[in-house]
Copies of this chain bind each other. A is one copy, B any other.
Amino acid sequence: MNLAVIPGDGIGPEVVAEGLKVLTAVLPQDVKLETGTYDLGARRWHETGETLPEAELERLKSHDAILLGAIGDPSVPSGVLERGLLLKLRFAFDHYVNLRPSKLFPQTATPLAGRPDIDFVVVREGTEGPYAGNGGSFRTGTPAEVATEVSLNTAYGVERVVRDAYARAAARPRKKLTLVHKNNVLVYAGHLWKNLFDKVGQEYPEVTTDYLHVDAATIFFVTDPARFDVIVTDNLFGDILTDLAAAVTGGIGLAASGNINPAGDFPSMFEPVHGSAPDIAGLGKADPTATILSVALLLRHLGYETEAVRVEEAVSADLAERSGARTTTQTGDAIAVRVAS
């Protein structure tokens, strides 16, 4: 297994170290783990002005998958690293399935009363929509300024992610798929999504479907999250909903994600949903669990299903026994010990 590792900014390096620790512990003896570490993020930008040089992008292609910590730092103008590095990777490697599972583990605290039974997965489109980067500013800085952001949605881009979501729904016991959009206001994009959702649905008669406006969906995330099985949605709605999903399932410290290129043309990338949390960087306070669960997604993507399940079970068992404050390393160690045994 040949991985690219992008530790990134803030707590990124700390959590990635624990992810690799668990990965090493769980991999079968005969699988050799090779890693190439990429120095990308705020430090590099300050030093060289580079976010993601072409040569690095080329080199990244040689790996089986990418493990990324976190990108972003207050010392860098907002958007520079996000657009120039993180989103550039997602777009360049055509990570059109941004996969974000949400599960409330038995002993994990949730802000919701009544501890609903939460176990769903959001399939967030990852390569277009409002994230296309197609916007601009005119008469910038004047009272007549106009700033635009263009959401670009192609039948090509929507259909493939919708199809992926149906396949995932069909493979799950409940076989339920919910489309989330805002087609009563964003009528052009919304209707494109809805039409393709209905069209592809004909190939999956066994999957039950429904549609929710994004505003209504947020209500159900807190009043009845158990109703969801698989959700498919656009890039921006998916961004918002998956943070909310993380919050109700015990926090952003546990939320994993995979930026997947299903065709395998380019390496897929796995990262915690959380950011770089510069306020706690280097303090050993960051929870590496989201990264470790992202490693499970990485294992599954590369065909190591048994190992993926072992990591997930180890996390579940560890969560059940956590008490008091633990350091980043202690959590990584505890989970690594479990997967190895």
Shortest CB distance A21–B (Å)? 27
- Within 8 Å by CB of A186, from B149, B190, B219, lies B149
Given contact pairs A112-B111, A183-B79, A149 touches B189 in the complex (Cβ within 8 A): yes
Instruction: Judge if A93 is at the interface, Cβ distance under 8 Å.
Output: no
Task: Tell me which residues across on chain B come within 8 A of A72, comparing CB atoms.
Answer: 184
- Within 8 Å by CB of A192, from B83, B87, B145, B191, lies B145
Instruction: Judge if A329 is at the interface, Cβ distance under 8 Å.
Output: no
Q: Which residue from chain B places its CB closest to the CB of A240 in the assembled complex? A: B215
Query: What 0/1 readout, one digit per residue, does chain A (126-162) give for beta carbons within 8 Å of chain B?
Result: 0000110001110101111111111111111001000
Q: Bound complex: CA of A218 vs CA of B151, how far in Å?
A: 22
Contact between B151 and A130, CB atoms less than 8 A apart: yes
Contact between A78 and B187, CB atoms less than 8 A apart: yes
Instruction: Judge if A340 is at the interface, Cβ distance under 8 Å.
Output: no
Task: Tell me which residues across on chain B come within 8 A of A189, comparing CB atoms.
Answer: 135, 147-149
| This chain: copies in complex | 2
Contact between A186 and B130, CB atoms less than 8 A apart: yes
Instruction: Judge if A316 is at the interface, Cβ distance under 8 Å.
Output: no
Task: Give the size category of A's interface with B.
Answer: 35 or more
Instruction: Judge if A195 is at the interface, Cβ distance under 8 Å.
Output: yes
Q: Bound complex: CA of A114 vs CA of B113, how far in Å?
A: 8
Instruction: Judge if A336 is at the interface, Cβ distance under 8 Å.
Output: no
Which residues does A use to contact B, with CB under 8 Å? 72, 78-79, 82-83, 87, 110-114, 130-131, 135-137, 139, 141-156, 159, 182-192, 194-195, 214-216, 218-219, 221-223, 236, 239-240, 242-244, 246-248, 251-252
**Interface pairs (16), CB distance under 8 Å:** A78-B187, A78-B191, A79-B185, A111-B112, A112-B113, A130-B130, A145-B155, A146-B153, A146-B154, A148-B152, A149-B151, A149-B186, A215-B240, A215-B244, A222-B247, A244-B244
